[in-house]
Amino acid sequence: MSEQQKHDLMGILSQGGLDLSADVPTLRAAFNELMARVPVAGDVDQKPTTIGGVNAIDVTIRGLETAGTILYFHGGVYVIGTAVATVPLVSDLARRTRAKVVTVDYRLAPEYPFPAAVDDALAVYKGLLAQGVDARQIALAGESAGGGLAVATLLALRDTGLPLPSSALLMSPYADLTLSGETIVERAAIDPILTPVGLRLRVPDYVGGADASDPEISPIFADLSGLPPLLIQVGSNEILLSDAIRLAGRAARADVPVTLDVTPGVPHVFQGFAGLLDEGSAALDRAATFLRTQFAANQPS
């Protein structure tokens, strides 16, 4: 990150982040207004669809022949976020990977607490299989809460005996809703996006009457054995750094092929700033290489 890039990024972030202590309608309105300012390239095609009874958007790059499908879950502490808001980021990923992205509008808390998001993710995955999409040509991906949801979905697929996807890309995964990670406190002074107080306020919305340490809520407590290859990307300035580190550790101990990719000095979901940060663009390049490699290794015979 050059000094100019750092200056520009801090200028954007200093304009005011999301106040997670606000009431839910205010929080969602502020998020939607913020994300509506992010430009989308003119060759990005967005097709609203419904798969397995769940709304989603097919994102492709016009004129680009696609191979493979990325099933994508947005972030937003399970309370905010939309499929359309992910289009700038997932279109960058689609372009680099040369794949179609299906980005999902799963149900949000507090109206729909756990396990609604997992149920919706499973429904979309099953819907893709019903359409004839080969599981080996599907990859799961997500950022923040969407990263945690991707792992929860893998666990549910494994435990129900459904065919697993080729791989999963997890960007700054929110994988511990007990908030027991050391960097929740250690990185609080340098994380410009998330705060411990904000996360604590929103945890009950999603957890509801369940236990926050349930592995499908907080996958860092799960047995990850049998999962497909994982790429976990995170920035060193995040309060969720320890979520990524511990998740990678559990995967390694379960003999899951895992790559932990830590980029120094960058904020939460820094890949979303790929047009501004060299590190964001480079991370998406590495993610695309990982996903393409897994698709190629799992080509039907």
The residues that are catalytic are 144, 238, 268
DSSP string, the chain: --HHHHHHHHHHHTT----TTS-HHHHHHHHHHHHTTS---TTEEEEEEEETTEEEEEEEETTPPP-SEEEEE--STTTS--TGGGHHHHHHHHHHHT-EEEEE----TTTS-TTHHHHHHHHHHHHHHHTT--GGGEEEEEETHHHHHHHHHHHHHHHHTPPP-SEEEEES----TT---THHHHTTTT-SS--HHHHHHHHHHHHTTS-TT-TTT-GGGS--TT---EEEEEETT-TTHHHHHHHHHHHHHTT--EEEEEETT--TTGGGGTTT-HHHHHHHHHHHHHHHHHHHHT---
Per-residue CA distances from 216 to 33, 69, 83, 126, 277 (Å): 31, 23, 22, 18, 33
